[in-house]
Structure 1
Amino acid sequence: MPDPKYLKPWHGLPRDKIHWNPTVDENVCIGCGTCVTGCSRLVYRFDFEKNKSVVYDPLNCLVGCTTCANICPANAISFPSLETVDSLIAQATVHHAIEDDLIGRKAELFNPAEEHQNKHKFIVDKKIQAGPKNLLVYLKPESANDKLKEFVPGQYANVCSPDKNWLCRSYSVCNIPDKEESYVQLYVRLEDGGRFTGWMFSEMKEGDVLNLKGPFGAFRYQSAEDKSLLFIARGAGFAPIKSIIEQILEADPQRNITLYWGVTDTDDFCLLKPIKEWLSIDTNFHCVLTARVVSSDFAPPVGVVFHQGTVYNALANSYFEDFDLVNMDAYLAGPSKTIKEVINVLIIKGFPKDRIFVDSFGLK
């Protein structure tokens, strides 16, 4: 029988509703017993007659753990895809349960010596809802001494609500904050059931003061000047891509750039204005937009190719013969599932894997 202490809910979800446990291929198992003796949760028993390991209490298994499969010398143990766990963690209720658990144990888990010192106070200068699920937030530093130039295009900041006992949320900066543009622009996507994005949409007001920590992240422009550039973004992954493209065009207005940006619904194209500007100043700039759902009043900007479907399918159906792949770099940002699919299609197309740069949010 499963041990009751292992049957407690997993971040608010009933353990018996989660399909996560090992499977032993009896034809491959060599009977070494490593999995049986190595699992402290007593998931396994040993069949001394057959000299085989047996999964006896699958619900004892820790969700997400694959240690036994990793150390099995015969590769006889398999688990469901880790996407099973990814899909659970993506649920707002699970994320909130993890957050509440962390906050409840802060005295036990927090080390004051590790607290980041690079904090900034920013005022919500403008809050613009651009479509049903998209928010553009403009933050100005409360103090003139705040060093906006610390933010490098492609990096992100941790945004904290001043009056909610929640963890900070990470958002890529989607502009180049400097003396001329003395604000930080954030692109916020409303998450279904999300408490933080729900607060930003419904409760956060212009004039509110937010705490920002950062900048963080190593995703940034790192290509030689003679390289052609391919940018691929999904959803709010366009934010860091936008800031990097602006950085490049500021120095080289005729750079050879191709952009793919995919969203769920054409109502999510909340930042088309800069794309129109790029098309007007750079004759070597090309753009492909994709969306699964097309609003009746949507019209792509002049010069933009539109594909109904996913950004992955648009890339898979594209001909890359006109691209000099040896002299081209690719920059990717968006959800991990999309990024993995895009990397696969790029490699199939012949793109060098070492010339593909991925936002840290993209892969888990």
Structure 2
Amino acid sequence: MSLLIRHRHVLAVSLVVVGLVFVLSFNAVGIVAQDREATVSATAFDPATEPETLESDHTVYVVDTGSPLGDEPREAVETAATDGEFDGEVSNAQAQFFATDSYEYVVFDGAVYAFESTVDGESVTLEFDERDPASAASEIAAPVDEAESAARDAIETGEPASTAPGTLENPIVETNGEFYAVTPDIDPGMALTTVIAPITTILAAVGVAFVITGGWLFRRFQAGEVRPLTVRRGTVLAAAAAPGMLVVSVLFRSGNSPMWVVVGTALAVASGLLLVAGVALARERLWRLAATLLGGPALLLAAGLVAAVLAGPVEGVMGVIFGAFGLVVVGIFAAPLVLVGYRFAVSGEPALADGQ
């Protein structure tokens, strides 16, 4: 009898313990993220000598620090800056900054311009009106009494001020004729948490599959069964990972976007399907093995569609990308389930009892 068979109870408990560790890592990262506070700092600047600082505001585009322009778009901007207007054709015009309605000002070669644009296919009309940098800054900036409280605190104290995470509504603030750029501070710990969070989501999905599989196997072993797994039972266990992951998401990350919840749930089921793959391999059910291995990618595509419906197409695309990465991680960390499925699959003979 193999080592796994002899120590099957230890194996079942180990699956539960490792699974709980994975799930708790998911919870720990969530707690760390919630406990961290975002801060902002305010830096005084002179629009006349530092007009590029106005880029902090979403209505300002700085040509020299934005996405590099090709020859034709840059020539169009240079012509508009020199002559006040450009009217002509620009290749790939729809991909340029002037094709959007987001910007009202352009900073080019140290000068500030109010601008308007009309883009129709590759036909482009640009109108540039050079503005005094201080006047433009006054139009862009928010008065200090209208700025967020964190921005006011940072300006008054000269020290970073705590704020809720999110986008600043007033990144340029004016007070007593002076201008301040208010910017979020980079927190290395928060950045690391942001990187680790997706990994722990995947590990939590694997952990849920481990806990469900280990708990079920322990009960069957206690009942005297040695090889209790069938394809049908494995499929039920894999499906049970879905509500399990949903419960974990609600308990530990209730503020998660729908994309993380949906894709995490799909990854939990995909982890459980590796158990089914092991059983199918042991039983030489090759068509079921193939169907099981294809089930993971199919689930992730479906999860991406659900995320797109719930949160929009961008979230859907992100879900598919994250899911593809997640499948690789699942394939590494949940691989033991293939071996478990293979070793504890029901054989053609009656299941062995304890001691046999």
Task: Quickly name the TM-score band, shorter chain normalised.
Answer: under 0.3
> TM-score, with normalisation over the residues of structure 1?
0.23
> TM-score, with normalisation over the residues of structure 2?
0.23
More helix by share: 2
